[in-house]
Every structure is written in C-alpha cells, then in structure tokens.
Structure 1
Amino acid sequence: MSFTHSVCVFCGSRPGARPSYAQAARDTGTMLASEGWRLVYGAGDVGLMGEVARAAQAAGAITMGIIPTHLMKREIGKRDLTQMVITEDMHERKKVMFMNSDAIVVLPGGAGSLDEFFEVVTWAQIGLHRKPIFLLDTDGYWQPLIGLVNHVIAEGFADESLLGHFTAVPDIATLRQAIHDELN
C-alpha cells in the first residue's frame, strides 16, 4: 500500500448534536481515500473519530491512529488500523500526529479539538511549520471560533496575520480542492 500525502484529522470523540457532523466525518474519510491520502487521526473508534476512520477504511485508505495509553478504553482504541501508535500522554500524541502529516483538517469537536487546533496554529504563528490548516465549517460550526480569533486581533493580542495560518472551508468539495492547492 502507498499514499501520496498524509492528512491529520482532529475531531470530536463524541458525535455532536447534528447528524451533519457525522456525515461530514464520513465524507472526509471517503474523500481522503479517494485521493490516495493517508488518514492520521486520534485512533478512537467513537464519535466523529470513529466515523472518519471507518469511512476511510471502507473506501480503502491507509490509516494511522495515535492514542495515549490512558484513552485506550475511553475512546475505544481502533485496533484494525493500518498502523497504530500508543503514546504515553496527550502531548506525545499530538506531536506524533503532527509529525506524520502534510496537512491538518479540524472537524467539529470539543476542548480536545480546540487544543489541537490552537497548538498547530500557534506553532505556525511562531514559524515552526508551514503546513496548511483547515477548519471544516460544517453548518457554521466554527463561526464562533473565527469570531473569537477576530476579537483577539481587534483587542490587540495578535496581528491580523493570525487569520492567514488557517482556512475555513464550508464543505468537502472545497476542502478537497484546498488541500490539493496546498500540497501540489
């Protein structure tokens, strides 16, 4: 098996309140497979994580999951992945996910997804990487976050250049094209 690029997907370990979130996760997994891109994600088999992984696998994608020991039971570590890495802690998990990816996609999620998003955006802001970061803005989920970032800028805590470190996209077709534009 081979792949041309690896895309890290950060997303919720819960399904969320809207069926459209699970559908977007499934569509993301299917799209990654159709492009020959490897899925790199948190290795859980619950919530949106499970949706994106199962869809990617069903469509023939190579999958790499990274999960810390303490979340194996809680997130039901998915053991039928192409590759699974078990880390000691969350910091190592994020580092391994990031280092094994060419682009980052953030689907709807909670505090963990926000933590992952802000960490990779901060790393980009201070010049540690130039990997593209995409927010899949399913049903406007990320609009409050984008509003917060604009507020941070307006209040003088960041330059407007912060907005240039990530791109919000409304749907899978736009996401696919945006990743292509960045990686090719």
Structure 2
Amino acid sequence: MTAIAVFCASRAVPDDYIRLAEDVGAAIAAGGDSLVWGGGHVSMMGAVARAAREGGAHTLGVIPTALVDREVADHGADELLVVDTMRERKQLMDDNAEAFLVLPGGVGTLEEFFEAWTAGYLSMHDKPVVVLDHDGFYAPLLDWIDRLAERGFVGAPALARLHRATTVTDAVDACRGGTPAR
C-alpha cells in the first residue's frame, strides 16, 4: 500500500478534469493505496477524495484554517487535519505521503509540484514525483523544463527525479515505484 499525495485544482474546472480526478481516486483505491490531499471537498480535490473513499481507500486531508470555508473542508475524510498555515499543510502532506501525483491545477498545484520535485532533487526525500499529462495539459510546462535542461539550467539528475505519465494507470504505477515512459 502506498500513500499517494495528489495535487490538483480546487476551483471550478471543466467536467473532463473532474472525471480524471475521479478516475485517479478510483485507481488509488483499486490498488489498495491511500490518498493524502489538501482536504478540500470541491472541484478536482473533492472528486479525487470521494472516488478514493467510495473505492475503500483511506483518505487523509490536510487543510489550513483559512481555507476551511473557501475550499469547503471535506468532513467526510477518514482523517481531516486542520492546521494554521500552508507550510504546516505541506509538511504534513509530505510527512504522510510516499509519492506525489500532480494532476491539472493552477498556481497552488504548480507550487506544490515544484516544491516536491525540488526537495527530491535535493535528497530531502526519495519519493516519486509524477506528473499526469493525460491530455497535453502540462505539455508546455514539460517542454519548457526540457528546454531548461538543454540550456544547462536543469541537470540530468533532476530530470530523472520527475516521472511523466499520460494515463492514470501509468501515473499510479509510477507512484508505487514503477517508471512510466518519459
């Protein structure tokens, strides 16, 4: 069993992305894994948690007090930790996760992705960091990262820490320690 932290949107998004989050939650549950997430009940955040719970997965949500109302805290979580700051939220998510899975999202998702990837590169953890790019959502970002590498700003060891997947199955497998094709 792997505790998978999922970073994703917490604001209104097209239904295709809600279905993607549901598929990820169902896959986490089907594999006997558990979910660690930002503790919100709305948008992709809520969809991944509901689907994981419906499939029998344990869910651990971590949400700062300031976002309890804004992100509508998911009181249906198996465990809901309410903390004072975003830094505490991220630390508890990091402490309780064995892998990080990045789904489509905005500024907060990107910040969480870069922090998890950087911490792995700096040997602060050895957990997989997986970007699920099922419809090209992250293609421009991943292309930019590749260009940074081509220009010498990102080295091969950092790139090796970043797993890229285009299917839910490959993404969840990568979280469990498998390596999807780049």
Could you tell me the TM-score, scaled by structure 1's length? 0.92
Match for residue 36 of structure 1 among 11, 16, 32: 32
Match for residue 9 of structure 2 among 2, 8, 12: 12
Unaligned runs of 5+ in 2: none
Equivalences for residues 50-69 of structure 1 within 5 A: 50-69=46-65
In structure 1, give the amino acid aligned to 2:119: W
**Using a 3 Å threshold, how does the CA distance of structure 1 residues 128 and 136 change in structure 2: closer, same or farther?**
same
Match of residue 48 from structure 1: 44
1:84-132 CA-partner distances (Å, limit 9, x unpaired): 1111111110110011011110100000000000001111111111100
| Alignment RMSD | 1.5
1:173 aligns with 2:181: no
Equivalences for residues 58-97 of structure 1 within 5 A: 58-97=54-93
Select between 115-124 and 152-161 the one with higher mean Cα deviation: 152-161
How far residue 80 of structure 1 moved from its aligned partner, in angstroms, is 1.3
1:124 aligns with 2:120: yes
1:114 aligns with 2:122: no
Match of residue 153 from structure 2: 157
Identity %: 36
Q: For 1:8 and 1:176, how far apart are their aligned partners in 2?
A: 11
Q: For 2:120 and 2:168, how far apart are their aligned partners in 1?
A: 24
In structure 2, give the amino acid aligned to 1:134: V
Unaligned runs of 5+ in 1: none
